[in-house]
């Protein structure tokens, strides 16, 4: 059976810019860096994890190495989104 490649598609494509800003904001706080450009986040995470990520042609990365990078970023983004949603719900419940 052929494996289908997963693609990260947003339900609301117009939200891509805001998601990129969230990624940069969350990861700059987590990494202790100053403001960081969204495209540089993955390279900084890879550098700190010791994963040899290059700007082009990363076909030599293992799935585990790629997963370390994506998991570190995505996991923190999800935690931040849940935190923000909980805070928004708490504000709505206040009289």
Q: How many CB atoms lie within 10 A of CB 61?
A: 17
Q: Which residues, 6 or more positions from 18, have their beta carbon under 8 angstroms from its beta carbon?
A: none
Q: Taking the model in full, what pTM does it have? A: 0.73
Q: In this predicted model, what pLDDT tens digit does every residue of 6-34 receive, in sequence order?
A: 566 778 889 889 998 999 999 988 888 88
**Range of lowest pLDDT (50-54, 56-60, 81-85):** 56-60
Q: Domain spans of the chain?
A: 15-54+63-93
Confidence grade of residue 4 (pLDDT, cut at 50, 70, 90): low
Residue 2 has pLDDT above 60, yes or no: no
């Amino acid at each position: 059976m052929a494996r289908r490649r997963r693609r990260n598609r947003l339900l609301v494509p117009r939200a891509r810019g805001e998601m990129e800003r969230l990624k940069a904001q969350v990861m700059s706080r987590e990494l202790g860096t100053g403001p960081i450009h969204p495209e540089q986040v993955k390279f900084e995470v890879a550098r700190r994890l010791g994963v040899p990520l290059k700007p082009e042609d990363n076909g030599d990365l293992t799935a585990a190495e790629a997963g370390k990078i994506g998991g570190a970023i995505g996991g923190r983004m999800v935690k931040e989104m849940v935190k923000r949603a909980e805070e928004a719900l708490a504000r709505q419940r206040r009289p």
